[in-house]
Amino acid sequence: MLNEQVNLLPLSKDTEDENLVRNLFLQPSTLRYWFRPPFANEDELTQFIDTHIKADDVVSMTINVTESGMAERQIKVGLVEVIDIDQIARVGEIKITMLDKQQGHGYAQIAFQQMIDHMFQIYNMHKLYLYVDVENAAAVHIYKKLGFETEGTIKDQFYAMGSYHDAYYMGLTRTNYDK
């Protein structure tokens, strides 16, 4: 079962996690849809990982897939995180990015659902929200399938790849999650 093959592990400082984050943020697709420039140097990469491990307002997980064969092994295929967690209001922004070569297998949708479950069940969140480029139809489709509702469109919200981009603001409340 595909569900059993995908699991989330906390982001760490190990070499595999550093390589994953480096590779994710060198991909044009990540730069385009996470609206962030590539790391300028190794110090910036290390600082990103340190911040995302230590911060009280961030939950950052690597997406891992178990490959069967002669010997089972885990491969790291992406990153899913909730950032800017407001401890009082219990809201936070959820984000995901996958290695391009690992897209199209259904891993992202499973990992996103696992993170949603983790945040509502373990962290007792009231709401998760996200920003998504209005042109990213595949992502919008998955988010809607997972219960997120479009709450608005924000004009010229992000600058990436040489131009401004509109974004949908989408949210999933505990009430809708519990349905």
What is the separation of C-alpha 64 from the centre of its chain, rounded to a whole number of angstroms?
A: 13
* CB proximity list for 131: less than 8 A, separation 6 or greater: 93, 154, 157, 158, 167, 168, 169, 170
C-beta of residue 99 within 8 angstroms of C-beta of residue 159: no
The yes-or-no answer on residue 168 being catalytic is no
C-beta of residue 115 within 8 angstroms of C-beta of residue 126: no
- Catalytic residue from among 107, 143, 168, 177: 143
Hey, is 131 helix, strand or coil? strand
Hey, is 158 helix, strand or coil? strand
- Which residues are identified as catalytic? 143
